[in-house]
A and B are shown apart, each in its own frame.
Chain A
Amino acid sequence: MDTRWILTRRQLLQTMAASGALAAADLAWWEEPLVSPRRAWGATPVRFQFSVPEPKRTALVESLAQRFNQSQKDFEVKVEFVPQAQARQKLITGIAANNPPDCCQVWDNWVGEFEGMGAVDDLTARVKDWKYYSDVTPIAWQTVTVKGKILSFPWVVTNDGVYWRTDRATEYGVKPPKDDWTWDEFLAAARTFTKGDRNQYGFGMRGQGTWAVLYATEFMYANGAQALKDGKVAINSKEAAEGLDWYLDLFRKYKVCPPSVPTDGWRGIVEGFGRGVTNMYIHNSGSSEEQKDFVGVKNFATVPLPVGPAKKRVSFYFSETLTGFKNAKNREGAWRFMSWLMDDEPKFMYCKTLGLLPARKTLAERPEFAKDPAYQGFIKSFPFSIVSPYLAYAGWGGKLDSEGVPLFQQALVGKLTAREFLEKFADMLTKNMG
């Protein structure tokens, strides 16, 4: 037997070790050589953290990053996808450990916390020289301005409006709401829409997550309340209690909401409407594209929030930001990528695919947004949209969720009255004004 071609144990081990060393060297040089395309010589990596609420965004953002990488040779963006629920804690632990990503996509209500940690890159000077500075709406800049410093790009903006089922309205004889409809008209529509025997409810109220408190606050404002007055917390006012009482009664007294309200978060209200259980709900434009698939383009529309007894109404304005960090390893790459995402094509693609409104005026005026009925409720709400009062203090961001929401749920299920909830809530806000 010719033994020349038989691999001895020693030879096998040597071969394996050599292969391993080669693979390790290749990995170190190219990073994921078999998966991603090889980057250009000298391209430095840019870490971009993106929180993923849905699979559609993953594909979209990956594609945007690839387009950016192909558009220039200096930087290569690597997207780090993080589930939405863990995004904030991951960023904060990254900052605390002095290892933040170079840039990230986050909601504006977190940026204040990051600024409080001294972690965010001040973009003020650079942004003011940026080519689209004056094209971004002033209120969008306001959402990312903390203590006079512009800390982020407002990638997209959102405000709240009411989604309602046009086909069911025709079926049940509900008059289409006018743009300046009132609370009474809202309640009347919700009552007509409620058909217990068919498992249908008028209004999908949100009971879980930060926005549960924010939507309720919008109704308090419509009754003449304010969260802050002369630098002090004023959310425990009589107007706020009455406004909240009316809002909570939609669930507690009038029974126009499904029984799942206390645990219905974002997915709960969107799916409730999509599956035909509810006929109205409050949300931003972010679920409009989803509803086109769920209930059909012709079967729903959006309308501004109703006018309250104080002849007022507000819609809270938020922005999804692009934020860079002081201790980023590649600050220049982060700036280049973030400003590229604000350019016409990538920004338009991102907004249109996800149903979000662009922060840049020239893009928002395009017919794809301005003429689409699904966006009308939000566009018509711009004149009375304000920046959320809960962005005022960095300490309020996390507390709103961990303490504000359980308190709100107690009011929702009748364990606290509206007044008791507001007293406790105001106390919590006052303690965290740092």
Chain B
Amino acid sequence: MASSPATVAVALPRPLLSRRARELVTGYLYLLPVAICLGGTIVFPILKAMHMSLYNHVLIKPHEYRFIGLGNYARLLHDETFWLTLWNSMVWVFGSVIFQFLGGFAAALLLHQSFRGRAFVRTVTLLPWIVPGVVVALVWEWLYQPNYGVINDLLLRLGWLSDRVAWLSDPALAMAAVVTTNVWRGVPFFAIMLLAGLQAIPDELYEAARVDGASVTERFWHITLPLVRPIIVVATATRIIWTFNYADLIFVMTSGGPANATQITSTYTLLMAYSNLDFGYAATLSVVLLVIMMVFTTLYLRVTRGIESAT
């Protein structure tokens, strides 16, 4: 009887990378396309802006292009208009976001109630958010037009005004006018976000509170507000950043005027880049804006996290 040849186990060659390392590499390879996209569209422009901010880069003066280190940053410290725009930005951002939030929350609470035609009203509420910002700006510019605008006309007919008011041409009123427009546009954003939050709160909680004799105000403070707080935090932070960088509305309605009364840092950056063609200084303003936003977001999230843990 012939014996069958013995099978000798051959050791497989040791792989170049361990299993764990291979898994890691595979994971990172999956991330690579996203990393390239983000790097090309976000990281590279930021680095490029930082690089540009260190140069005297005025397009109409190509012969004066040179490295000036922190020269643009020093210029910014002494630029009165920059400090004015920073203050204007604060008024613009917080004026807009606070009223957008209050209006949005009120709208969300109303839209959460059951009533006939609710779906229609919800759709209509969204309209200001759907309309492009430039169109909103043009429409409101006409509404505010002092000589033949609808707002002055209505107020005069109602007898609430004796003289025509230059809403966008009076430095004392111009910022309030553009903030009002921005509030009108931003209320639906908060309304929809908060409505989604309200719909996620289980009805049982309200029923239990009602059984325990909690009033409407108590139910709002102890159930509604704590449970929608995460949404409030995210929505407000997002909106503050957007509004800080949002230049379309002011650019179309007032171009930052009159007399810089509505000039915010982002419109000032546009002015420096595309009117003065001073790309070095415009890049400096962008970098400073980025830093301010990063500091603000970090602080905001830290503070609100503190509130979260306290509750």
Contacts and interface: CB of A to CB of B under 8 A. Distances in A.
Interface of A: 86, 89, 92-93, 96, 113, 116-118, 196, 199, 207-208, 258-264, 272, 275, 277, 394-395, 398-399, 401-402, 405-406, 409-410, 412-413, 415, 434
Name B's interface SS.
Answer: loop
Interface string B45-76: 00000000000000111100000000000000
Contact of A208 (B59, B165, B255): B255
B171 A259 contact: no
A413 B258 CA distance: 8
B259 A413 contact: yes
A278 to B, nearest CB: 9
Given A199-B164, A258-B147, A277-B148, A406 B257 contact: yes
Given A89-B277, A96-B62, A262 B145 contact: no
A259 B148 contact: no
A272 B168 CA distance: 16
Interface string B144-155: 011110000000
Given A260-B166, A262-B166, A410-B259, A398 B146 contact: no
Given A113-B60, A117-B60, A275-B148, 5 more contacts: A96-B59, A116-B60, A263-B166, A399-B276, A409-B257
A261 B169 CA distance: 7
Contact of B170 (A208, A405, A413): A413
A272 B147 contact: yes
B276 A260 contact: no
Nearest to A110: B60
B168 A415 contact: no
A398 B272 CA distance: 10
Contacts of B168: 260, 263
Q: Closest 4 CB pairs between A and B?
A: A259-B166, A262-B258, A409-B259, A410-B259
B88 interface: no
Contacts of B274: 86, 89
Given A207-B169, A262-B169, A196 B259 contact: no
A259 B258 contact: no
Given A199-B164, A263-B257, A394-B60, A277 B147 contact: yes
A263 B60 contact: no
Contact of B147 (A117, A118, A199): A199
Contacts of A92: 59-60, 277
B304 interface: no
Contacts of B171: 262, 413, 415
Nearest to B272: A402
B260 interface: yes
B271 interface: yes
B145 A260 contact: yes
Contacts of B275: 89, 398, 401-402
Interface in B256-283: 256-260, 263, 271-272, 274-277
Contact of A116 (B61, B263, B271): B61
B163 interface: yes
Nearest to A89: B274
Which of the listed residues A113, A401, A406, A415 has the most CB atoms from chain B within 10 Å of its own CB?
A: A406
Contacts of B181: none
Contacts of A413: 170-171, 258-259
Contacts of B257: 208, 262-263, 405-406, 409
Contacts of B170: 259, 262, 413
Which of the listed residues B59, B60, B145 has the most CB atoms from chain A within 10 Å of its own CB?
A: B60
Contacts of A401: 275
A412 B272 CA distance: 23
B169 A260 contact: yes
Interface of B: 59-62, 81, 145-148, 163-166, 168-171, 254-260, 263, 271-272, 274-277
Nearest to A416: B259
Nearest to A410: B259
Nearest to B254: A263
A256 to B, nearest CB: 14
Contacts of B146: 258-260
Contacts of A207: 169, 258
Contact of A117 (B62, B81, B145, B256): B62
A259 B62 contact: no
A259 B170 CA distance: 8
B147 A262 contact: no
Contacts of A410: 259-260
Nearest to A116: B60
A208 B148 CA distance: 19
Contacts of B272: 402
A196 B277 contact: no
Nearest to A85: B274
Contacts of B271: 402
B269 to A, nearest CB: 12
A262 B276 CA distance: 21
A207 B258 CA distance: 9
24 contacts: A89-B277, A92-B59, A96-B59, A96-B62, A113-B60, A116-B60, A116-B61, A117-B62, A196-B163, A199-B147, A207-B169, A208-B258, A258-B166, A259-B170, A260-B169, A262-B171, A263-B168, A263-B255, A272-B147, A275-B148, A395-B60, A399-B276, A409-B259, A413-B258
Which of the listed residues A93, A258, A401, A402 has the most CB atoms from chain B within 10 Å of its own CB?
A: A402
Contact of B169 (A259, A272, A277, A406): A259
Contacts of B164: 199, 258-259
A313 to B, nearest CB: 28
A272 B60 CA distance: 35
Which of the listed residues B164, B169, B263 has the most CB atoms from chain A within 10 Å of its own CB?
A: B169
Which of the listed residues B146, B148, B165, B258 has the most CB atoms from chain A within 10 Å of its own CB?
A: B258
A113 B276 CA distance: 11
B78 to A, nearest CB: 13
A96 B57 CA distance: 11
Given A207-B169, A277-B147, A398 B60 contact: yes
Nearest to B171: A413
Contacts of A264: 169
A171 to B, nearest CB: 19
Contacts of B276: 398-399, 402
B259 A406 contact: yes
A415 B174 CA distance: 15
A163 to B, nearest CB: 17
Contacts of B256: 406
A434 B257 CA distance: 28
A413 B262 CA distance: 14
Nearest to A259: B166
Given A89-B277, A398-B276, A260 B147 contact: yes
